[in-house]
Amino acid sequence: MIDPRHTDWWRDAVIYQVYPRSFADSNGDGIGDLPGITSRLDHLDRLGVDAVWLSPFYPSPQRDGGYDVADYRDVDPQFGTLADFDRLTDRAHALGIRVIVDLVPNHCSSDHPAFQAALAAACGSPQRALFHFRDGLGANGELPPNDWPCMFEGPAWTRVTEPDGTAGQWYLHLFDPSQPDWNWDNQAVCDDFECTLRFWLDRNVDGFRVDVCDALVKADGLPDWPHPTHGVVEPIDGRMPPMWDQEGIHDIFRSWRRVLDSYEGTRILCAEAWLPSERTARIVRPDEMNQAFNFAYLEQRWDAVAIRSTIISSLQANDVVGAPTTWVLSNHDVMRHASRFGYDGTVALEAGVGAADPQPDRALGLQRARAATAMMLALPGSAYLYQGEELGLPEVTDLPDDVRQDPVWERSGHRIRGRDGCRVPLPWEATKLSFGFSSVSSSDTWLPQPDYFGPYSRDSQNDDPESTLRLYRRALEMRRTLTGPIRWDESAADGTIAFARGDVKVLANVNGEPAALPEGASVILSSSPYVEPASQVPPNTTVWFRSEEA
């Protein structure tokens, strides 16, 4: 059972992201669902995670994988019912696993009743004031109100047809046109989200991962911004872009924190924001969110200098505000790290790869991914894992183009393939149809699984002591024995990263020459098959060891 007195659980937690559509399917429709997740919780228990974070399972037309929410306080029938959610939470809690759900406060689905009411209402009405409706520019209002682009290509504004059939106002959407942005200057929006928080807190969730939380407040007057708005954006002349990281967001987070703190146990808020570390750190000040994704870390290429300096700057930025640092290598928006590291140099995180594009070196990528994870899990703070990475699953870089669902694929005129390759349903049992993803015999999954998924399946890895799954289990178990801050070994050879925590030493040979271990070292974890007493750690390998020397 989870222990409500364990108030600091999140400071060093391992939090496992479940993407519900692709985790496990209980009824054979090829789409993952909540009962499917519940039926597979034993896997997460054995893996040894502290919490699961569920990507959205709310009613949604799924134009952006559920990040287009039509009702914040229910379960989409394709994923199950509220009773299924309660069963999932109860079972997880009985196993000692906390449950975090996704809060999507920047935008809803255009199917949301409030947006439908806004479309039907007049200009200037209270219904429209829940969103950002504006008249267009140009003689007939035919131009968007400002120059902001949306994150999925094209302008961030769409013109509506008024109820009388005339071309009318425009509404703001930083993402897909099917995702209108809420107007957080409107108290009614704040009140409604407080209701949503309480709804899930009353159902015993342990926290929220907060989607694009840095975009809630827009600069007054929605001014033009003729500078970049994508990726990690830096201030220009001391000003952040008018759609990101405006000062007003912090009061919203403080009000949420007060709500969470009024509940039993420690419930947490985790910020999703692609900002420079020192800006992200302001979101995790003591009275705001508890932690934030460390995207600076996720963005690093396989290079010892880059990784080490990001670890140092991440720890420094968070120490300033007393928050634990988090670590993450994969999620549902980026190319899986087992494939990213199979390319040399940097790769576009979200652009996707097509079957005719250069393919990653799968074996090399996996070897590096295992080394990267083994090092990440030794770092102080909490770590986020994305479903399937514990199987060493590669990105599906050869998906047929005609099955793609990421809205960016259509919006970009088939130029940007997007994020489907990391969202392919998981393989559980090598010999079953759909590799056991659907418990009812069926081979049709919402995105097709490639033939080569078989050997990655959970059951194929269970009994193989060298498997990625066994490495993850062992690292999660050993991680619990690590204590105290990082002590860097400043004498580490070029291309390696070396540090200690307590009496455990970690040597990650990223891209160096084979690196020597001290005499008498006893290796307690190795990211690649490693025979003792070996004295050399090859590149693309991380080992944890104890040694006599200080």
* Residue located via tokens 């002591």: 465
For ligand TEU, the closer CB: 156 or 376? 156
From the list 21-29, 189-197, 204-212, 533-541, the region that binds Ca ion by CB under 5 A is 21-29
What is d(CA 68, CA 424) in angstroms, rounded to the nearest whole number?
19
Of the residues 31, 130, 317, 424, which one makes contact with Ca ion according to CB under 5 A: 31
Residue placing its CB nearer to ligand TEU in the complex, 175 or 428? 175
Q: Applying CB under 6 A, does 230 fall inside the site for ligand TEU? A: yes
Counting Cβ atoms within 10 Å, is residue 32 exposed (0-12), middle (13-18) or buried (19+)?
A: buried
Nearest CB to ligand TEU, comparing residues 298 and 498: 298
Query: Both tokens of residue 166?
Result: 């005339």
User: 31 is in the binding site of which of Ca ion, ligand TEU, none (Cβ under 5 to 8 A by kind)?
Assistant: Ca ion
151 binds ligand TEU per the rule CB under 6 A: yes
Q: Which of 4, 124, 223, 231 binds ligand TEU (CB under 6 A)?
A: 231
Q: Which stretch binds ligand TEU (CB under 6 A): 64-72, 77-85, 135-143, 259-267?
A: 64-72
CB of 41 to Ca ion, least distance (A): 16
Written as one string, the DSSP assignment of 384-439 is EEETTGGGTPPP-TT--GGG---HHHHHTTSS---SGGG-SPPP--TTSGGGGSBS
Exactly one of 79, 115, 175, 297 binds ligand TEU (CB under 6 A); that residue is 175
Of positions 9, 67, 115, 171, contacts ligand TEU by CB under 6 A: 67
Distances (CA, A) of 413 to 248, 353, 357, 410: 36, 15, 17, 5
| Length of the chain (residues) | 550
DSSP string, 276-290: -HHHHHHHTSTTS-S
| CB closer to ligand TEU out of 63 and 128 | 63
Q: Say whether residue 299 binds ligand TEU (CB under 6 A).
A: no
Q: Which of residues 27 and 528 has its CB atom nearest to Ca ion in the complex?
A: 27
Contact status: 333 vs ligand TEU (CB under 6 A): yes
> From residue 250 to residue 289, what is the string marking binding to ligand TEU with x (rule CB under 6 A)?
----------------------x-x---------------
Q: How far is CA 346 from the centre of its chain?
A: 19
Strand partners, 496: 509
Least separation in angstroms between CB 179 and ligand TEU: 6
Shortest spacing between CB 102 and ligand TEU, in angstroms: 8
**Which one-letter DSSP state was computed for residue 254?**
H
Side chain identity at 27, as an amino acid letter?
N
Contact between 297 and ligand TEU (CB under 6 A)? no
CA atoms within 13 A on the CB side of 541: 19
The H or E element spanning position 268 is strand 268-271
| Number of neighbours of residue 400 by Cβ within 10 angstroms | 10
Task: Choose one: 62-70, 158-166, 188-196, 449-457; the region binding ligand TEU (CB under 6 A).
Answer: 62-70
Cβ count within 10 A of residue 522:
11
Positions touching Ca ion (CB under 5 A) are: 25, 27, 29, 31, 33
Positions touching ligand TEU (CB under 6 A) are: 64-65, 67, 104, 151, 175, 211-212, 230-231, 272, 274, 332-333, 350
